[in-house]
Copies of this chain bind each other. A is one copy, B any other.
Amino acid sequence: MKFLKIPAATITRLSLYTRALEGLIKDQVTVVSSKKLAELCGVNPAQIRKDLAYFGQFGVRGVGYYVKELLFDIKKILGLHREWNLAIVGVGNLGCALVAHENFTKQGYRFVAAFDADPMKAGRKLVTGLMIYPPSDMQSVCRDKQVEMGVICTPPEFAQDIANRLVDAGVKAILNFAPTQIQAPEGIKVENVDFSVKLDNLAYYLTTS
């Protein structure tokens, strides 16, 4: 079934399922039905079964899913059974907050490099001890530290240039916090974290309803 095209939404939901499952483990729950898990995640039970069906059969009919096993399997699917090396570009307020954010490390994402165009910052270290390099060092540092994902926290006008540099440095996945659309060549995955868009959604909702 792996050859089927898997909806992007399915991957996003798998990520949600891992959280719910981790919560269940904390509560000592060992078995869960798609119905129960669906409630926790706010989705349809059939949706969960469909999502999982893309990758195999993980449940026991008449019983449900073994929580620990399912969590392990989903993490494996998502590639969360290993650690990932990240680089942050732009260590302003937001960038620093992200590096310090425990949710990254807890999940196996490690910041191994930092970059900033500000000559006052480049050459210094973050509070975490992480060295800040100028963007001109991106290629060598990224290869050296084996950076696999780049996180862009620069002002929007520099985001595209930084993305290009990251791609040149061999980075294949980019998480973009700058409020702008980034163009990247085939084979490079860009995800946008765009809270101004989310706020605009809220504004629209409050305006119409």
Residues of B within 8 A of A8 (CB): 201
Residues of B within 8 A of A187 (CB): 209
Residues of B within 8 A of A53 (CB): none
A86 CB to nearest B CB, Å: 8
**Cross-chain contact B79 with A109 (CB below 8 angstroms):** no
Q: Count A-side interface residues using an 8 Å CB cutoff.
A: 60
Residues of B within 8 A of A19 (CB): 179-181
**Cross-chain contact A77 with B173 (CB below 8 angstroms):** no
A114 CB to nearest B CB, Å: 15
The answer to whether A57 has its CB under 8 Å from any CB of chain B is no
State the majority secondary structure of interface residues on A.
helix
The answer to whether A107 has its CB under 8 Å from any CB of chain B is yes
Copies in the complex: 2
A171 CB to nearest B CB, Å: 10
Query: Which residues of A164-209 are within 8 A (CB) of B?
Result: 172-175, 177, 179-181, 183, 187, 189, 191-193, 195-209
Which among B41, B80, B109, B204 is the interface contact of A78 at CB below 8 angstroms? B204
The answer to whether A140 has its CB under 8 Å from any CB of chain B is no
A100 CB to nearest B CB, Å: 5
Q: A175-B198, A181-B16, A204-B79 are in contact. Are A94 and B104 (CB under 8 A)?
A: no
Residues of A that sit less than 8 Å from B by CB? 8, 11-12, 14-16, 18-20, 40-42, 77-80, 84, 92-94, 96-98, 100-101, 103-104, 107, 109, 148-149, 172-175, 177, 179-181, 183, 187, 189, 191-193, 195-209
Counting from the closest, the 10 A-B pairs by CB-CB distance are A79-B207, A93-B97, A173-B202, A97-B97, A15-B200, A79-B203, A191-B198, A189-B205, A15-B197, A94-B97
A12-B197, A94-B97 given; name 4 further pairs at CB < 8 Å. Answer: A11-B204, A84-B203, A173-B206, A193-B198
